[in-house]
Chain A
Amino acid sequence: MSCSRRQLLKSGLSTFIAASLPISAFRFLSPAECQAATGKEGTRWGFLVDTNKCVGCGFCVKACKKENEIPYDAPVTRTWVERYVVTKDDKTHIDSPMGGRDGFTSKQIRDDEIKQEDISKTFFVPKLCNQCKNPACVQVCPVGATYQTSDGVVLVDRTWCIGCGYCIMACPYGVRFFHPIHKVAEKCNFCYHRISKGQQTACVEACPFGARQIGNLLDPNDPVTKIIMTERVAVLKDEYGTKPQVFYLGLDMNVR
């Protein structure tokens, strides 16, 4: 076997480099370690709604309105619960009287009395601001009164909002409304005053059935993040490209 000087130096050098690499360089990294290494630490608030658990008691809506000083009897709310009754003739009946504030206590849906034998399936879907990664409502604000915080929550600056209503029209989910007292745009902000102090949001705390949960999507050990990463979750109106941060378990195709 012949070997030129150049070849010897070449292979000698590569052997030296390979031998000097620590074993740890070849180790498989867990997603958690990868995330820590890429420096994406911090907070990104995400929400998980388990529609399989919601019974439509409406305690979340009541708590939200009182916590966030939304006029109790005005027909506006930051979060609401919708009832879906799908009948065997493939019709979907939806209602949410006063946003479900007082719960669902009667079988009457709007003006329809649906017969027991016609019901195919029923479910309750709690809704709230999706705190989108690409919030359409923020893009359209002409004065910079609404914005995304560094931890992913979309807030409204009440002193700066001029009340033009562009954001209310832009939101594909209809979560924004006009605050009857402050006369500015209003929306769910994941109870920013509570989550930034380490508390739960008012709706999460009020829910007796654990249908609502909030967590930090950048923390791989967070129970909410674990569910979103490992289970089959869906978001509302994915086709709009807004990248919602509210994830749903057991979402039905009839939910709009």
Chain B
Amino acid sequence: MKNHVLRPLWFVLIAIALILIVRHFMVPDDFGVHGQNFTYGFHRLGNVDDWKNFKPKYKGREYCQECHEENVVAVNASKHQRIQCENCHGPAIDHPDDPEKLTIDTGRELCLRCHASLDYPDNPRSRIKAIDPDKHNSESACIECHNPHNPNLEEGK
């Protein structure tokens, strides 16, 4: 065959070979479909474990109860038992080692998440006792009068 045909042919073949060599070194070995299909399942297998090893921050009420038994019992007896400890106290992460002390959210805004009156008819929000934040002791913190672990004013003192 003539040279001007062969030359570009060799060029293309070498280019393809180069791409395949580079791909061999660039793409990790565990890349594949792993029993799934190519449309949705083509992935690096190691990434599934990467995500499984992500660190959980929220530990749950049972973890808190191991040391703070009396507080968990108190809140479980009140209307606030449906609220997780960490919703207000922040994620435990590795408490008591790291962080040594949790930052408790004691602001009005936290209580207002549920207790600000929106006055919507037939909304589940309306079943919760609510206040108008501008009129109900707007200068004071809620916890000055209400105990979050037992919000009932008579019992909670």
Contact = CB atoms under 8 A, between A and B. Distances in A.
Interface of A: 52-59, 62-63, 66-68, 85, 102-107, 116, 119, 121-124, 134-135, 138-139, 144-150, 155, 157-160, 189, 191-194, 196-197, 199, 202, 205-206, 208-209
Contacts of A206: 58, 84, 86-87
A116 B117 CA distance: 12
A55 B114 contact: yes
A57 B87 CA distance: 11
Interface string B34-77: 11100111111001101111111110100000000000000000
Given A103-B114, A208-B87, A199 B60 contact: yes
A57 B113 contact: yes
A233 to B, nearest CB: 18
A202 B91 CA distance: 10
B99 interface: no
A214 B112 CA distance: 27
Given A55-B123, A122-B120, A193 B47 contact: no
B112 A147 contact: no
A193 B123 contact: no
B116 A193 contact: no
B140 to A, nearest CB: 17
Interface of B: 31, 34-36, 39-44, 47-48, 50-58, 60, 82-84, 86-87, 90-91, 109, 112-114, 116, 118-125, 128, 133
B51 A106 contact: no
Nearest to B51: A192
Contacts of A116: 119
A30 B125 CA distance: 40
Contacts of A192: 51-52, 54
A54 B124 CA distance: 7
Contacts of B122: 121-122
Given A102-B113, A107-B119, A122-B120, A67 B56 contact: yes
18 contacts: A52-B124, A55-B128, A56-B125, A57-B113, A63-B86, A63-B91, A103-B114, A106-B116, A119-B121, A122-B121, A144-B31, A150-B36, A150-B41, A155-B48, A158-B50, A193-B53, A208-B82, A209-B82
